[in-house]
Amino acid sequence: MTKKTFYREPTTGKIAGICAGIGRYFSVEVWWIRILAVSIFLLGGNLLVLLAYVGIWLMVEKRPASMQEQGDTEDHALKNKPWQAGKVPSELLSDLDCEYQQIEEKIRKMEAYVTSDAYKVNKQFKQFNQL
């Protein structure tokens, strides 16, 4: 089991990425977090929400670029109801299609290399160096 770490996500967030980071950490839709924060703010917790937001903004690091490129290894979850975390079917299928095309391209490159003369020559050099 991998340990989850809380990061701000300014690229997907509106202001500083606090709500986006909380949503990702707890696997909850971001709009739920935003509605909760705005509701608390409007219902009298103005100073509390403002101080908490600014405090988290200053204390929590941005999500590292290496993790953003990897896309984390997120599970492909289908959203059945609007309030559930996950993706709508069309978006999920589109993402899966893109991932499969990338995997297929990598496999084609590996097959092309393994069947090439360069692979055979490199293999013979390695065998010769081991002697």
pLDDT (0 to 100) of residue 76: 63
**pTM given for the model:** 0.49
CA distances in angstroms from 14 to 11, 37, 98, 117, listed in the order given: 8, 13, 27, 53
pLDDT (0 to 100) of residue 122: 85
Q: Which residues of the chain have pLDDT under 70?
A: 1-2, 66-88
pLDDT (0 to 100) of residue 68: 55
pLDDT (0 to 100) of residue 45: 78
Domains in the chain, number:
2
91 and 130 inside one domain: yes
pLDDT (0 to 100) of residue 104: 95
Task: Sort residue 72 into left (φ over 0), alpha (ψ -120 to 50) or beta.
Answer: left
Instruction: Examine the fold and report which residue of 74, 100, 119 is the final residue of a domain before the chain moves on.
Output: 74
pLDDT (0 to 100) of residue 107: 94
Query: In terms of residue numbers, what domain contains 56?
Result: 1-74
60 and 89 inside one domain: no
pLDDT (0 to 100) of residue 37: 84
35 and 53 inside one domain: yes
pLDDT (0 to 100) of residue 83: 56
How far is Cα 20 from Cα 34, in angstroms, rounded to an integer? 9
